[in-house]
Amino acid sequence: EAQVTQNPRYLITVTGKKLTVTCSQNMNHEYMSWYRQDPGLGLRQIYYSMNVEVTDKGDVPEGYKVSRKEKRNFPLILESPSPNQTSLYFCASSLARTYEQYFGPGTRLTVT
């Protein structure tokens, strides 16, 4: 089954404790992207990747890091999480020529 998986689905953590949210897709998609969704603000792009070892900033990259060492995986790293990073996070992937994205189920992150 074609899918995008994210782990963990729910996470409560404390300020400053490094965490990684994993994202994996099995569709051989070149393009992958991370978004955060906050009430009233819609989805905002954090980082995206056009292919292996090619990443770029979206609209809200501050406080986040990503890597793309393999085509299928695109982890999101929060080196020192802060309460303003409490949000619903989505990973998505698509063919680079279409941008018709498939989304993962989301990760609800709470930073206290």
Partner 1 sequence: RKEVEQDPGPFNVPEGATVAFNCTYSNSASQSFFWYRQDCRKEPKLLMSVYSSGNEDGRFTAQLNRASQYISLLIRDSKLSDSATYLCVVNMASWGKLQFGAGTQVVVTP
CA distances from 37 to 40, 60, 68, 105 (A): 9, 11, 22, 13
Within 3-42, the residues that bind partner 1 by CB under 8 A are 31, 33, 35, 37, 40-42
Task: Select from 53, 70, 79, 100 the one that contacts partner 1 (CB under 8 A).
Answer: 100
Task: Tell me the sheet residues that pair with 111.
Answer: 13
Q: Answer yes or no: are the C-beta atoms of 39 and 53 closer than 8 Å.
A: no
* Choices 15-23, 63-71, 73-81, 88-96 (CB under 8 A): range interacting with partner 1: 88-96
Residue 74 binds partner 1, judged by CB under 8 A: no
Q: What does the block give as tokens for 112?
A: 């206290």
Name the residues that contact partner 1, by CB under 8 A: 31, 33, 35, 37, 40-45, 48-50, 56, 58-59, 88, 90, 96, 98-106
